[in-house]
Structure 1
Amino acid sequence: MTPARRAADKFRRLYGRAPRGVWSAPGRVNLIGEHTDYNDGYVLPFALPFRIAVAAAPRADGLLAATTVGDDGFPQRAAPVRVAELTPGLVGGWAAYPSGVAWVLRDQGFTSGANLVITGDVPAGAGLSSSHALQCAVALALLGLAGARPGKAGAPTLTEVAGWVQRSENDFVGVPTGLLDQTASLCCVESHALFLDVRSGVQEQVPFDAAAHGLDVLVIDTRAKHSLANSAYGERRRDCERAAKLLGVAALRDADTLTRLPDDLLPLARHVVTENERVLRTVAMLRDGALADIGPTLTASHRSLRDDYRVSCPELDLAVDAAVGAGALGARMTGGGFGGSAIALVPVDRRAQVCDAVLSAYVERSLPSPRLFRAVPSAGAGRDH
């Protein structure tokens, strides 16, 4: 059963009636362009087939009542909150995510009370943006209940919605994320990667059909859980802002020389500058249909994230090294880091040996077995029914 059908079914069980509608949003893989989004740089994500779905119906009393349903089928209800009284710090835990979206949309004049039932199959804690998929699905659901479908006259654009979701996470949840994940979840299309210039907002859908080229993108969920709110993510972002200020530029995207930076900031800035170059190089190869040629650039990105930006971890390094050693054309960590997932570009005829090599490497080091699956570029967020 799809997440959308499960959400609708559980809504009927909980409320005794059908929801007004069901909206869903996907997780994402970032092919390349890590920690560049909050530096006004370039990113290249694509959407996964895994989704978070929200079944929703309006309430007349101004309360937001959110319920999640896990794999065990049991609902977890958050205490209802009055939308008019939402303020940062009022709601904690998982309920802060839908509440933060309602808080932002309230200020835009789009929402009041609602019943929400949330379910999905995006692996949590895997660096595949399950929290942003949840927020984007909630945003579309609340906008849908208000009769504001993005793209219609008088409704916000998907780009505007992405900015609102970012604000909800930055200012309500308290996690200083950039715009990559929200934009990917909302704007990606099937069989393409989304080339986004974060500063200008310009988007290009770049063809990325790996299967047609005899390739797979293999996701390796290391099961090393991470939480950006409790990691060094915020510290890295502040250091990038400090480096840009020392260089006299608006953002590290604009840096043309790094010689004036102190030793503690130089590696971070070097990663951002070189990662932007790697995104542009990758996009050029994809435009030329040279998908197999991007492998070394992916691996170079991982080395930079590991050595310069210092956001990798032993589990991610092991996944990358084992995959490349077994025949992957390239591999890198994906997502914020400090755990989560890696990706590997693998010829289809080497997929089994790469999977076996990665699993064996984890067994040899007595680590929990990672979860491996193919990542197929899929559709972005929308209404299911």
Structure 2
Amino acid sequence: MTDTAHVSTADVARSLFIERFGAEPVGTWSAPGRVNLIGEHTDYNDGFVLPFAIQHRTHVALAPREDGRIRVASTFDDAAVELALDELDGLFPGRRDEVPEWARYPLGVAWALLAASGANPADATGVDLAFASSVPIGAGLSSSAAIEGATAVALAETWGLSLDRVALAQAGRRAENEAVGAPTGIMDQMAALLGRADAAIFLDCRSLETQVVDLGFAQAGLEVVVIDTGVKHSHATGGYGERRAACERGAAALGVPALRDVTVDDLERLAGLVDDVTFRRVRHVVTENERVIETVRTLSEQGPTAIGELLVASHASMRDDFEISVPELDTAVEAALSAGAVGARMTGGGFGGAAIALVARDRVEQVRDAAIAAFSASGFTAPTVFTVVPSAGAGRD
């Protein structure tokens, strides 16, 4: 998408605000979706990830109100949701089912920000919020963190909160974990809030230390192609939670706080302590952490054309050891590689969503055509294929 598309999504949010609330907003804020270049299911194991923000964004139009209430509207739903700010504490997490799932994201961020800042909800300015997004939903590009990031920067500015970007990301994660009920790590929120143009964020999910890593894709003539399978996934459902529980079992068996503390050399000992499924889940996380570190090193020393094998190995590990791929994702990866992609892998939490391929600019159309043809031959619904550009993080438009 171009910058014009960003403006139009902001305009959609502004128009929705006027339509639902009968007034002009004071401004719009936005946050991006993200692609994870490598490092899947490592984040909640205190490991390493390498995401980058993309040009597709969620925009929120906002205006303060005088009565201490929060009202949220979205293009996802014809009805707005409204309640008093001091009711949020009673709503989350125990009564979250009383509001629609989409509304739990912004309301959860408001709740988490008030708690993190120590502000008294009764003293906070009421707000109206209206959301519109160009981030594909359910594609594994973190439309949820884009909503959280946009809400966090808008409310932090409106309420005058002295919270840094990491604290805003932590509020987003708390909203997702407790208000929505999805047991995710903090990678997506950090990417949405800290993203930089033409760069990825190397994140240590234990210390939350970050390093901006130049990707060099443009200079190398490379594009990131997203192949959205159209297979919907939801982190709030069982498969994700089961994988997380297996990781916790593996860490407990080895007597360590998290799988971050396990090396490849420890795997032989683990094999005698846990069942085969748990062993393979752990092996994915341990080897994936190593692949993230190796990708950062390779980008620095050899450039982006040299990371293809690491991407392919990551996909194989997710397919065989973590078992979160689906036939459509495998087909997308195989088609991209057969059409000459430098590397390809599924991205995101799995069980659907999208694959990414790193592709020379002059081969993008071949990869697109190969993916569509392979899906057709397999009897799958045609994928949506588009390119993404490493982009800036959340802010006021």
What TM-score comes out, normalization by structure 1 length?
0.94
Q: 1:268 aligns to what?
A: 281
Q: 1:151 aligns to what?
A: none
- Pick from 115, 118, 126: which aligns with 2:131? 118
Aligned-partner Cα distance in 1 for 2:158–2:261: 42
Offset of 1:289 from its aligned partner? 4.8
Q: 2:46 aligns to what?
A: 40
Tell me which moved more, 287-296 or 171-180: 287-296
Matched, 1:340 2:353: yes
- Pick from 89, 108, 127: which aligns with 1:100? 108
Aligned-partner Cα distance in 2 for 1:238–1:112: 40
Matched, 1:29 2:35: yes
Aligned-partner Cα distance in 2 for 1:225–1:314: 13
Q: 1:14 aligns to what?
A: 20
- Pick from 169, 181, 195: which aligns with 1:188? 195
Aligned-partner Cα distance in 2 for 1:239–1:109: 35
Q: 1:56 aligns to what?
A: 62
Offset of 1:143 from its aligned partner? 1.2
Offset of 1:17 from its aligned partner? 2.9
Aligned-partner Cα distance in 1 for 2:257–2:348: 24
C-alpha contact (below 8 Å) 1:83/1:106 kept by paired residues:
no
- Per-residue CA distance 1:259-302 (angstroms, 9 max, x = gap): 23312211011111100110011101111251101011000000
Aligned-partner Cα distance in 2 for 1:278–1:65: 44
Aligned-partner Cα distance in 2 for 1:231–1:217: 30
Matched, 1:226 2:233: yes
Matched, 1:323 2:329: no
C-alpha contact (below 8 Å) 1:23/1:53 kept by paired residues:
yes
Tell me which moved more, 76-85 or 317-326: 76-85
Matched, 1:246 2:259: no
How many percent of aligned residue pairs carry the same amino acid?
Answer: 51
Aligned-partner Cα distance in 1 for 2:209–2:386: 31
Matched AA of 2:368: C
Aligned-partner Cα distance in 1 for 2:131–2:9: 9
**1:159 is paired with a residue of what secondary structure?**
helix
Q: 1:133 aligns to what?
A: 146
Aligned-partner Cα distance in 2 for 1:289–1:122: 32
Matched AA of 1:130: S
**Contiguous gaps of at least 5 residues in structure 2:** 1-6
**1:377 is paired with a residue of what secondary structure?**
coil
Aligned-partner Cα distance in 2 for 1:293–1:135: 34
Q: 1:284 aligns to what?
A: 297
Q: 1:157 aligns to what?
A: 164
Q: 2:179 aligns to what?
A: 172
C-alpha contact (below 8 Å) 1:333/1:343 kept by paired residues:
yes
Q: 1:380 aligns to what?
A: 393
Q: 1:152 aligns to what?
A: none
Q: 1:82 aligns to what?
A: 84
Q: 1:305 aligns to what?
A: 318
Offset of 1:77 from its aligned partner? 2.5
Matched AA of 1:48: I
Aligned-partner Cα distance in 2 for 1:330–1:369: 21
What TM-score comes out, normalization by structure 2 length?
0.91
Offset of 1:171 from its aligned partner? 1.2
**2:364 is paired with a residue of what secondary structure?**
helix
- Per-residue CA distance 1:356-382 (angstroms, 9 max, x = gap): 111000111221111111111000000
Q: 1:236 aligns to what?
A: 243
**Contiguous gaps of at least 5 residues in structure 1:** 149-154
Structure number with higher helix proportion: 2
